[in-house]
Chains A and B, each alone.
Chain A
Amino acid sequence: MKKIHILGIIIIAIAIGAIFTTLNNTSTYASFAEAASEPDSEFHVVGKLNKDKEAVYDPKLDANLFTFYMVDNKGMECKVVLHKNKPQDFERSEQIVLIGQMQGLEFQASDILMKCPSKYNEGQPQASK
């Protein structure tokens, strides 16, 4: 066997390893209900902020604790405990992606991604009259 073949086999092995770990090291976009069914795994839950309910952030008490209510894409609402600071412009967010896991009736989020309307849908031309 030539050296090149040995090298080839090693490469293929590593490549398969890369594919395999990629498939294993992902989390899943899910709803709260799906997250609740597997309380120990990490999920990405996409949804919208419930603006009618209270969002509590008291940085003087704990700068790394923020709670609010989110409605996921299937319409289910859940209390969210985010272990981070309240993101700037949180109220303006149009869509939220939470990363974390379900614990009891609360979704414990370790990270949050937001989409603000201004970032994607552009503003409108304006002129006062």
Chain B
Amino acid sequence: MEYIGEHLGIGKVGNVFVILSFVFALLASISYFLAAKENEEAASWKKIGRIAFRLHGLSVMGIVGTLFVMLMNHYFEYEYVWHHSNRIMPMRYIMSCFWEGQEGSFLLWTFWHVVLGLILQRTAKNFEAPVMSIIALVQVFLASMLLGITIGEYHLGSNPFTVLLREHPEYSKIPLFSDANYLANPAFDGRGLNPLLQNYWMTIHPPTLFLGFALTVVPFAYAIAGLWKKQFNEWLKPALPWTYAGVTVLGIGILMGGAWAYEALSFGGFWAWDPVENASLVPWLVLVGAAHLMLINRNKGQSLFTAFFLAILSFLLILYSTYLTRSGILGETSVHSFPTAGMAGQLLVYMFCFVIMGMGLLIIRWKHFPKQTSEEAIWSREFWMFVGAIVLLVSAFQISFYTSIPVWNKLFGTNKAPLKEVIKFYNNWQLPFAFVVTMLIAIGQFFKYKNTNIKEFLKKIAISFFVALAFTFLMIYILDFDDRYFSILLFSSIFAAVANIDYMFRVLGGKVRKAGASIAHIGFALVLLGALISTSKKEVISQNTSGKDVAQLGKSYSNNDNILLTQGDTLKMGKYLVTYVGKRHEGINIYFDVDYFTKDENGNLVKEFRLAPLLQTNPRMGNVAEPDTRHFLTYDVYTHITFADMEMLKDKKETGDEYAQAKNHTIKKGDTLFSSNAIIIFDSLSVNVDKAKYQLKENDIAVEAHFQVLDIRKKYKANPIYVIRDNSIQPIESKVDELGLKFMFWQINPEDGKIQISLQEKKSNVRDFIVMQAMIFPYINILWIGCIVMAIGTVLAIVERVRKK
């Protein structure tokens, strides 16, 4: 069939770029490899390598550009465009469409490597050839992920351009494609970007995180180059600023992910030890360790092996986390890993190649390492920095090992599942590590390289120690902090912050430019402090106070975190009184407005603020709850909807006049019933029924029940009649139209005088309600401030290091 209006040309162009990027990466890698040999031909190979890498870069830009053009012009004939965008989506999220898919995110990663490679070509000098050879090799693997060619039975990569929607195996048989002019069909549109990702954090979090990932390749490439060229110490100096940059960018990227989760997801926090989160935290921890060891080695020439090991490992862990999140192996344990694209095998090959290369080379070269003549003194800075790096490594190991449960299951055929209380498990394990690390951060800088006079050291540190201790007790008092285990970390984090502030002013004389490390450490301590306080003192305030009760079921294990709010009612929740005002529809979002009041001295309600947590009727994931949070200086009020009756979300007019299902009641005189809007009292029965009025026959037996129906304003009467005519029951209903109630009288039990009635309410009577969860996160701002401080500190450290060159 000849299809009309398809833009097949641009796909071919894109595909040419894909192939070129692969070929040039391969050429660059080989040329640079030969250039690293330093023979006569080296210079010309280097030239070829340079050009090849630039052409590779150009091709990658070409791929990126082509994909953007396709996305912006809505070329839905291409699977990737159809899959990740649509016409109605705001254009500002076009970037998010770009990296939503597997291919696009690989492309983003590749793109950053190109940028870094182009900078390194100019700055690496002697190291250019070996370093660029490694980076180009990494690019060969990444470019192969986009190839999308089939060799025999095996698919290599997944190509965003060649896959036409009509040729896509899953969709090819769809009747739509029997129309040659399907593109002109006005109803044909893309699937669009997952609305959950239509959030500004999703525009900046992925590129930041991927730049962080990409930056780990630089210390890796330098370390390999150092081993390869036997320049065991020379690689450190140029690699250090890159390592710091990696620490900064990856750290910020991870915390941005946390900020997104806190704002757009409703799991109730910023960190859940989810495998995907762990997959980026683990390499970061190792990279931080690497940065410190590289620094020791640069200054004192010690711990060389470990410095190499960690620098190589952090990149390998990035590859491992790529495997974890993209091979589909996490399956049930994580909600937000990528679906599989059949690349598990390719990812494994990619990882093992570099594991063998990195670790193999390290082992081979080990015996050539310069002999360490003396052991570190116990009171030296280098010794304690070394200890700190090792603690980070062990901490990373613990997280990694537990996160890898699905991998162990696959390897050993076991059937293990992570605990439900997984957060608590990680917290308990990580707390001692965090304690040791923060203690080391506090005292580390007060130690001198080589050796320290311990008396002087104690004198210097004493002030910080006691100030921190005083602060800690104050915090414990203010926060009513009762957990002893957590108090230890509370102290050590405060100690770390205080000691570094002290160091910055007393020792460095407040010279900000030199204080990069101190500032970064203060930031890190604040991040931990904020995380510790906001998580351990997190308070769920949405206990059910609706009175519509839980206790009668006797379920002691009911977690009781949810509050039921009926429209119009005001309930107490924590220190607030809350009212569910109503709901608003905006596009696919349904906002639930909830007002928060406090009482003033006179007992009057004063409105404080309104929060509108929402339900997103997400066409791709079903209904997703998104939280709404009120930020105060010292705490956040965080709320999200846990249940809303979707039936009620429809317009009331449709169903308003119908009666809902009847409820049966067996009652005796004097009993009280409740409808949603009234109190109903059963007064009496009478046999004196006005037969004419109800058109009853002479032989009919009729009994009338008298009810008082009370709402807030008025008293009504309801008199349903029980009628037996010719041996059958034919009751006469009684309505209270003002309240939308209908009564039917079905049965009398002469023995105990009880009667059975049914009560129906109009659907419009049943008031809307929501079930909500609300919590208070105290002092979470410390965490965000810490994040910014840490970023400033590391940037200062990088600037200082580059300047020193």
A-side residues, CB < 8 A to B, are: 2-4, 7, 11, 14-15, 18-19, 21-23, 25-30, 42, 44, 46, 57, 59-65, 83-86, 88-89, 92, 97, 99, 108, 110-111, 113, 115-116, 118-120, 122-129
Contacts and interface: CB of A to CB of B under 8 A. Distances in A.
Contact of A27 (B82, B185, B419): B419
A1 to B, nearest CB: 11
Nearest to B404: A22
Contact of A83 (B401, B555, B644, B771): B555
B622 A88 contact: yes
B619 interface: yes
A110 B38 CA distance: 65
B88 to A, nearest CB: 14
Nearest to A119: B621
A112 to B, nearest CB: 11
Interface of B: 82-83, 165, 170-171, 174, 176, 179, 182, 185, 187-188, 191, 332, 335, 339, 375-376, 378, 383, 387, 390, 393-394, 397-398, 401-402, 405, 415-420, 425, 429, 544, 548-550, 553, 555, 557-564, 615, 619-625, 642-646, 769, 771
Contacts of A2: 375
B416 A61 contact: no
Contacts of B393: 11
Given A85-B643, A124-B170, A128-B187, 11 more contacts: A3-B376, A15-B398, A18-B398, A22-B401, A22-B405, A60-B769, A64-B544, A64-B555, A85-B562, A88-B643, A88-B644
A12 to B, nearest CB: 10
B191 A122 contact: yes
Among all A-B residue pairs, the 6 with the closest Cβ atoms: A89-B622, A88-B623, A44-B417, A18-B398, A26-B416, A127-B188
A122 to B, nearest CB: 7
A61 B187 CA distance: 44
Contact of B550 (A18, A64, A92, A128): A64
Contacts of A29: 415-417
8 contacts: A11-B394, A18-B401, A25-B419, A63-B564, A85-B642, A88-B615, A97-B332, A118-B621
Nearest to A13: B394
Contacts of A92: 622
B558 A65 contact: yes
A14 B416 CA distance: 22
A29 B413 CA distance: 12
Contacts of B191: 122-123
B176 A62 contact: no
Nearest to B165: A125
B620 A88 contact: no
B564 A59 contact: yes
Contact of B620 (A25, A57, A123, A126): A123
Contacts of B621: 116, 118-119
Contacts of A86: 643
A124 B171 contact: yes
A15 B433 CA distance: 12
Given A125-B82, A127-B182, A28 B564 contact: no
A64 B415 contact: no
Contacts of A30: 415
Contacts of B165: 125
Contacts of A126: 176, 187-188
Nearest to B425: A25
A46 B332 CA distance: 10
Nearest to A30: B415
B557 A83 contact: yes
A123 B644 CA distance: 25
A42 B420 CA distance: 9
Contacts of A21: 425, 429
Contacts of A115: 332
Query: Looking at B170, B383, B416, which has the most chain A CB atoms within 10 Å of its CB?
Result: B416
Contacts of A3: 375-376, 378, 383
Contacts of A62: 549-550, 553, 555, 558
Contact of A125 (B174, B398, B405): B174
B548 A125 contact: no
A53 B419 CA distance: 30
Nearest to A66: B643
Given A22-B401, A59-B769, A125-B82, A88 B332 contact: no
Contacts of A99: 420
A11 B345 CA distance: 33
Contacts of B387: 7
Given A63-B562, A111-B420, A122 B83 contact: yes
Given A61-B549, A83-B558, A122-B83, A127 B416 contact: no
Contacts of B176: 125-127
Nearest to B566: A60
B293 to A, nearest CB: 13
B236 to A, nearest CB: 20
B559 A64 contact: yes
A86 B402 CA distance: 29
Contacts of A97: 332
A18 B185 CA distance: 59
A89 B416 CA distance: 28
Nearest to A84: B559
Nearest to B398: A18
Nearest to B644: A88
B553 A4 contact: no
B375 A123 contact: no
Query: Looking at A57, A63, A86, A119, which has the most chain B CB atoms within 10 Å of its CB?
Result: A63
Given A18-B429, A22-B402, A25-B419, A118 B560 contact: no
A28 B550 contact: no
A118 B619 contact: yes
Nearest to A45: B417
B405 A26 contact: yes
Query: Looking at B425, B564, B619, which has the most chain A CB atoms within 10 Å of its CB?
Result: B564
A108 B557 contact: yes
Nearest to A116: B622
